[in-house]
Amino acid sequence: MNTFKRLKHFYLPDRKLFLLSILFLIVMTSLTMAYPIVLQYAIDEVVIGSNMSLLPYLAVGFVLLTVLKAVATYLHQYCGDMFGIRSVYRLRQSLYEKLQYLPFRFYDNARTGDLMSRLTADVEAFRFFLSFGFAQVMNLFLIVVLSFSVMMVYSFQLALVTLISMPFLAVVIYRFDRKVHPGFKRIRESFADMTTKVQENVSGMSTVKSLSQEGMESIRFNRRNDDYREKSLYNAGLWAVFFPVMELIGNICVVLLLGFGGYLVMSGQLQIGQLAASFSLIWYIVGPLMNLGFVINTFSQSKAAGERLLDVLDEEEMEVQRGKLFLDRLGGDVEFDHVFHQYQGEQSYALQNISFHALPGSTIGLIGAAGSGKTTITQLTAGFYQAAEGDIFLDGQPINHYSLADLRKNIGFVLQESFLFSSSIKDNIAYGRPDASMEDIVDAAKRAQAHSFITALEHGYDTVLGERGMGLSGGQKQRLAIARAIVLNPAVLVLDDATSAVDMETEQRIQAAFREVMKGRTTFIIAHRISSLKHADQILVLEKGSIAEHGTHAELIENGSIYRRIHDIQFQDQNQVMQYQG
């Protein structure tokens, strides 16, 4: 029960609903115990004793019992459902909020499909046990105890005979639980793998089709589907063994009760109606115990689900309030002092001994091969990761002294892969600054060269985009991302290959707009095209995590080797294109 204890703060606030559910369960179970008693009176007093005057009273009493039990059952189930639904509402909300504040290192290895499975299937499994599992356990305990109590009133000997089967049932249940819980945990993990594969396939369908890999994708999914099937069949096999064994033990107990009960009736120690009532009562005992498999099933699934939910909840969050310095606006002074960085699980350093100073309003160009550390520098500046060694200063203060929320309000990103939400264009542009006026939004769109294509759409700025900006070209999505960064009005602007998805003509227009936007801001430009960097105040040429060269465009053309080589290759390619077009 440790898993449920650790999650108790999600369901304890609604304990009144749970207690009401249990109260009505007690009423419902107590009324159920009246059925064998009515049966015993009907046989011994009406049939055997020929006291027909009791029949109307018994009939009316039976109807009233049925109505009362139906009302109690309704209230029990309603309160139980409300208890479970309200509890997992808080749990689901907490999980989602947790995901918002987990550090980037968590998402470096996280799988989208697995996280979706935890927030849906695992949460629902936990809710089902809260709504029904606890009640089933209580119902089992109550009905067994009350049935034994009534049976002992009729015949102490028959109650002892019934007890004989209990140790055997307990052993079977214990062995079943030891095997079924790990099985259910493996099933949930396998289901998460399958969900992840579906999510990846749907997200990358254009790549799948463009490379004609539909058949290969089907084979890969079949592997995960087969794994899920095999694990499910294993647990189904456990169930197939469990129920016949439980039924065998229960039937042996019934045979013993009827045999010994018949002897007591013939010897005059027990009435026929009492034997009939005891026969009903033994099924009230054995039946719930056999149903204990279902309870264990529900418990095991919810426990396995709870463990997976705790894996997320136990993840260490990034510190939103890391320091005592709060600010409305950064000046934009950025300094790296002998900074080293290593990603979790990696053996080599992503950055090694990085030192540079970006003055407020200056433009820093970052160029180098893939994996050389360009993006890592900007991520450390925004506090996405913490440097392994060295110091990073913003406006003369160590970066850890600032609140992350305030820090990131002052840093605008335009990433290489532009992500847009399934909402209106207006809301996407104003995402980082929800209180932005329509004039600010339109102005940002004009500067990003996006206004013309937006107004050409039927609904203009109110156009609702499809998932991940479906329906727009790569260049259009990137221009919206640029507008989103502009409307934020950041002190530090990061352009991570921000014009890679646009044509040369549009790039020149955007670069012209950027030169206006970048005034007064410290700007980091990550680019592979030297044309995007030639106006930078300082260019850092990165190689294997280190600064191999640095200087202005002119200085690096004259004295650099790596930068000069990149320039010559791009210039040669450009000349070839121009000759071909001419």
Q: Distance of CA 413 to CAs 27, 205, 360, 373, 404, Å?
A: 62, 27, 17, 17, 15
Please tell me the predicted confidence (pLDDT) of residue 524.
Answer: 92
Strands 351-358 and 492-496: unpaired
Domain CATH code at residue 68: 1.20.1560.10
Report the pLDDT value the prediction gives residue 581, as an integer from 0 to 100: 46
In a domain, 361, yes or no: no
d(CA 91, CA 309): 9
Q: Are 557 and 549 in contact (CB under 8 A)?
A: no
Residue 483 lies in a domain: no
pLDDT band (50, 70, 90) for residue 344: confident
Considering its fold, how many domains does the chain have in total?
A: 1
The answer to the question of residue 456 being in a domain is no
Element (H, E) at 470: none
- Average pLDDT for residues 12-33, to the nearest whole number? 88
pLDDT at 56 over 90: no
- What pLDDT band is residue 320 in, cutting at 50, 70 and 90? very low
The answer as to whether 391 is a domain residue is no
Average pLDDT score over the chain: 80
Rounded to two decimals, what is the model's pTM? 0.68
Given a cut of 50, is residue 578 above it in pLDDT? no
Which residues form the domain of 236?
2-313
Q: Is residue 569 part of a domain?
A: no
pLDDT in tens, 111-141: 777 788 788 878 888 888 888 777 877 888 8
Dihedrals φ, ψ of 393, to 5°? Answer: -115, 140
For residue 573, what pLDDT band results from cuts at 50, 70 and 90?
low
**Could you tell me if residue 537 is inside a domain?**
no
Domain membership flag for residue 414: no
SS3 311: helix
pLDDT tens column, 68-100: 989 999 999 899 899 988 988 888 888 888 887
Q: Give the number of other CB atoms < 10 A from CB of residue 53.
A: 8
Q: What is the pLDDT of residues 405-417, one digit of tens each?
A: 778 888 888 877 7
Give the phi and the psi of residue 428 in degrees, each rounded to 5: -65, -40
Q: Residue 321 pLDDT more than 50?
A: no
User: Quick check: is 465 in a domain?
Assistant: no
Least confident of 142-146, 150-154, 502-506: 502-506
Asked whether 151 and 281 are in contact (CB, 8 A), the reply is yes
Between 464 and 44, the higher pLDDT residue: 464
